[in-house]
Amino acid sequence: MTAQAITARHGRLALPWFGVAFVTSCAALIFFGFSFTFVPDVIGRVRPVVLYLHIAAAAAWLVLVIAQAVLAMQHKFALHRRIGAYGFGLGALAAITAFITALVLRHDSVVAHGADGRAERIAFLAIPLNSAIVFSAALACAWVWRHRPHVHRRCLLLATAVLTLPAVARIPVVSDLGPAALLPTDLLVLTLIGVDLWRERAVHRVYWIGAPAVVAMQMLAIFLIVAHPQWWVRTAALMIAVPQ
């Protein structure tokens, strides 16, 4: 095989543009999904300050992740590492405010609807908490293994994919699909696995562990909402400070 053919083959397998394309697509999907509720639920009414802080931190984190992916593609790793500390700070702020925002908004929703489907509305806390927990875990793993690029990169790609779940759930057509609304996020995770198979001829252990964990957390959240067991309703009601 000629050197030119080898280079072409390696270039095909490397897919240097994939990280940028993936995080940009996820960010576009996130901004699109939240656009359906941003004007009526955020701009059109007074909301808790923590919600605005969460929106700002999450949006800034997404922009920074795209910038970091571009720097990595251009092999500007020194600048990538220097900016990375700010990225983890923004990600941590987005995760913390996501937890708080989930509690505050679920409290408001339950109080606003009174006794109408109260147990189910309380149990729905499982969905925003699911995204916050999985994102936080993936971000923490990316920080712990930041000096191992192959692990670090995949953890961040997984974290970005997970953020699409609450956004997709706000798209009118998708939100009517029930549990099937999870599929767009799962397809993004499957894309990560597929690219690994194409590029490496194997699936990295980050995805072997992370993908089943993401699906398991989704199934748990769906169970807690559909079955709304009493122990979860009591726990969630305590978390959002409302009577059962």
Neighbours of 82 (CB within 10 A): 11
Percent of the chain with pLDDT over 70: 89
CA distances from 57 to 9, 47, 187 (A): 40, 16, 26
> Look-up: residue for tokens 């690994």?
196
Structural domain range at position 186:
3-239
Number of H helices, E strands in the chain: 12, 0
- Does residue 124 belong to any structural domain of this protein? yes
Predicted confidence band of residue 41 (pLDDT cuts 50, 70, 90):
low
pLDDT, tens digit, 9 for 90 and up, residues 153-205: 999 999 999 999 888 888 887 767 777 778 889 999 999 999 998 888 889 99
Give the other-Cβ count within 10 Å of 36's Cβ: 14
Does 3 score more than 60 pLDDT? no
Q: What is the mean pLDDT of residues 214-242?
A: 93
Q: What are the structure tokens assigned to 58, written together?
A: 């999450």
User: Measured between alpha carbons, how far apart are the two ends of the chain, in Å?
Assistant: 70
Residue 31 per-residue DSSP state: H
Query: H or E stretch including 100?
Result: helix 77-113
Apex 155 CA angle, 150 and 158, nearest 5 = 125
pTM summary value: 0.86
At residue 180, the pLDDT reads: 77
- Is 132 within the bounds of a domain? yes
Long-range contacts, stretch 132-138, CB < 8 angstroms, 24+ apart: 132/95, 132/98, 132/99, 132/102, 133/217, 134/162, 134/213, 134/214, 134/217, 135/94, 135/95, 135/98, 135/159, 135/162, 135/163, 136/95, 137/213, 138/162, 138/210
Task: Report the pLDDT averaged over residues 33-61.
Answer: 81
Q: Are 48 and 104 in contact (CB under 8 A)?
A: yes
Residue 184 falls in which region: left (phi positive, over 0), alpha (psi -120 to 50) or beta? alpha
**pLDDT tens digits, 63-85:** 999 999 999 899 898 898 889 88
pLDDT digits (tens, 9 = 90+) for 87-144: 899 999 999 999 998 898 888 888 888 777 888 989 999 988 998 999 999 999 999 9
Structure confidence at residue 40 (pLDDT): 65
Mean pLDDT, residues 225-237 taken together = 93
pLDDT beyond 50 at 5: no
Residue 193, pLDDT score: 94
Which residue type does 173 have?
V
Residue 26 confidence (pLDDT) above 50: yes
Residue 181 in any domain: the answer is: yes
Count of all residues that appear for the chain in the document: 244
**165 within domain boundaries:** yes
Least confident of 11-20, 193-202, 217-226: 11-20
In the prediction, which pLDDT does 99 show?
93
Q: The dihedral of CA 93, 95, 96, 97: what is its sign?
A: positive
In a domain, 227, yes or no: yes
Does residue 172 fall inside a structural domain?
A: yes
Residue 244: inside a domain: no
Domain count, the chain: 1
CA angle (49 as vertex; 48, 54 as ends), nearest 5: 105
pLDDT tops 90 at residue 39: no
Burial class (CB in 10 A: 0-12, 13-18, 19+), 49: exposed
Is there a domain that residue 73 lies in? Answer: yes
Nearest to 224 by CA among 122, 156, 136: 122
Query: pLDDT band at 4, cuts 50/70/90?
Result: very low
